[in-house]
Amino acid sequence: MRRSPFRTGPFARPRAPIAAPPVLALALLLSAGPVAAQSSPRAGAPRGGPGRGALAVDSGLARTIAGIRAVDNHAHPMRPIPPGAPPDTEFDALPLDGIPPFPLPWRLTLASPVWSRAAAALYGPAAADTDAAGRKALEAARDSALRALGNGFPDWALDRAGIQVMFANRVAMGPGLHATRFRWVPFDDALLFPLDTRREATRTPDTRSLYPREAALLRRYLGDLGFRAPPRSLDEYIVRVIVPTLERQEKAGAVAVKFEAAYLRSLDFAAPDPAAAHRVYAKYVGGGAPTHAEYRTLEDYLFRVVAHEAGRLGLAVHIHVLETFGGYYDAAGSRPERLEPVFDDSTLRNTNFVMLHGGWPAWGETEAMISKPNVYADFSMMDQMLAPDELASVLEHWLMRFPDKVLFGTDSFQGGPDQGWEEGAWVASHTARRALGLALTRLMREGEVDRTRAEELARMVLRDNAIRLYHLDLKE
C-alpha cells in the first residue's frame, strides 16, 4: 500500500516524542482483553474459526512476544526530509496518487481508533479532535520530531514499533535509511515492459497513470547502463539490461526484488514461449505498440528471466498478492493460485518467492502455495486491515501447517500529513503481536503446543524465518 490522497480523519494534538514503553507495558497491552475459560475453548467451536469468543493472551507469552525485535519483510519507509527540501518521491514505483479515488478498507481509514492510539503512542496523549486545528497539531508534532531527530527519525520509528530491521520497498534508498536497519527491495516490473505501453495503459482508468510510471522507471534503469532506448534484440536486452540491472541492485545491498504486477495485469504468468517473445520484441522494438496478447507473451517470458536471474544472485522475488487496491483493480487476477504455474516451474526452484500480504482474503490458497519448497508468505497489510482476532484465525492455520514459511511484515506507508509511515509500522506491529499471542494462546490451551514451542513459533514468525530466508547476520 502506498501514499493515497484519499485519507482524512481525526488525529489528536500530540506532544513531543516520548521514550519507548518498557516490555512489560507493551505486554500488558498485547494481553489485554476479557479472559476466557482457562481450560478449553467452547464446545463445538472449530480452531481458528469466527465466533470463538473473547480470549486473553497468556501474560508470559505476551511478554516474550513484546520483547522480540522483529524483521519487517515489507514496508515503504520515507526518507527524513529537511524543511524546504524537495519531497521524497522514491518511496514506490507505482504510487496510487494518480489513479481515480477508491474506497479503503475501514481499518485503514482514520475513523478507526487504532490510528489515534498510534498517534498517542508516538507523539503523546491524543484527544478526538477532527478539525483542521487538530490535524495541524499532529503535523507540527511530527515536524518537530523530524527536526529534533534528523536522519535518526527512521531508527526511532523502528524502535517504537519493536522492529530491528525493515525491508524498504523503494526505487532508491537515501539518507536516514542506512543498511544496518533498512534493507533495500527495488522494483523490477519495469523490466517486463521494454516496448511501447501506450495501448496497455488505456485498458482502465487506473492503468492510465500506472504504465507511464513503469516507462519512466525503465528509462532510469536504461540510463544507468548508458542506454537511451532498449537494445535492438531481445537477447541483447536480457544480457545488457536485465542481468546487469539485477546485478547492480544486488551489489547495492538488495535482499529481494519486488513485483507489483497485479496492479497492471493478472498474475497468471503463463508458460513462456521464447520464440514468440522474440518475435514480438523484434516486431515492435523499432516502434508501434503491441496488442495486449502480444505484450503478455513477452511479459510471461521476461518475468521468468528476471525470476531466474534473481535466484542466481540470491535475491528473493516478492509479489503483491492481495485483493485490492484501486477502483479498477483485478481482484480475481491477484489470487494466490494464479501463481502456481510459476511456483511449479522446475527451472525456478532455485528462486525463493514471497507472496506479500498473505494473498488476503484467499489465505487458504496461500496455505496451499507455501507447501511448495521455495514459496513463503508474509502477512503485511493484513495486520493493518484486520482486527487481531481475525488475523489470529489465519495464523492458527498457517502455524499448524507450515510455520517456517510465515513472515511478519507491516506494509507501513505514508498516508499523508495525518497518517505517517511510522504510525503504520506501530499499528501493524502491535496488531501482529496481539494476533500472534491470541493464536498461540489458543493452541497452548488446546494442547497443540507447549509454552516452549509457542515461544519458538513467535520468534520464527517475527524474526527467525526471515533471518534464515535472507541469510541475515543479526544480533539482538
CATH of the domain at 289: 3.20.20.140
Which positions of the chain have pLDDT values less than 70?
A: 1-54, 126-134
Residues 6 or more apart whose CB falls under 8 angstroms from that of 376 comprise 316, 352, 353, 354, 355, 370, 405, 406, 407, 465, 469
Does residue 6 belong to any structural domain of this protein? no
pLDDT of residue 134: 65
Helix (H, G, I), strand (E, B) or coil at 391: helix
Does residue 45 belong to any structural domain of this protein? no
Does residue 28 belong to any structural domain of this protein? yes
- Joined grid coordinates for residue 381: 497489510
Does residue 15 belong to any structural domain of this protein? no
The count of domains in the chain is 1
pLDDT of residue 5: 33
pLDDT of residue 417: 75
Does residue 2 belong to any structural domain of this protein? no
pLDDT of residue 160: 96
Is residue 361 reached through a cis peptide bond, with omega within 30 degrees of 0 on the bond before it? yes
Q: Tell me the residue range of the domain where 196 lies.
A: 23-34+55-470
* Cβ atoms of residues 114 and 219 within 8 Å: no
pLDDT of residue 140: 77
Phi-psi region of 175 (alpha: psi -120 to 50; beta: other; left: phi over 0): beta
Does residue 304 belong to any structural domain of this protein? yes
CA R_g for the chain = 22
Global pTM value: 0.90
Paired residues of 70 in beta bridges: 163
pLDDT of residue 21: 44
Distance CA 124, CA 197 (A): 48
pLDDT of residue 138: 75
The number of beta carbons lying within 10 Å of the beta carbon of residue 253 is 12
Does residue 16 belong to any structural domain of this protein? no
Does residue 18 belong to any structural domain of this protein? no
Pick from 154, 160, 144: nearest CA to 91: 154
pLDDT of residue 27: 56
Strands (E), 77-149: none
pLDDT of residue 6: 32
Element (H, E) at 320: strand 316-320
pLDDT of residue 124: 78
Residue-wise pLDDT for 400-424, tens only, equals 999 999 999 999 999 877 889 999 9
Distance CA 372, CA 27 (A): 35
Pick from 298, 197, 282: nearest CA to 232: 282
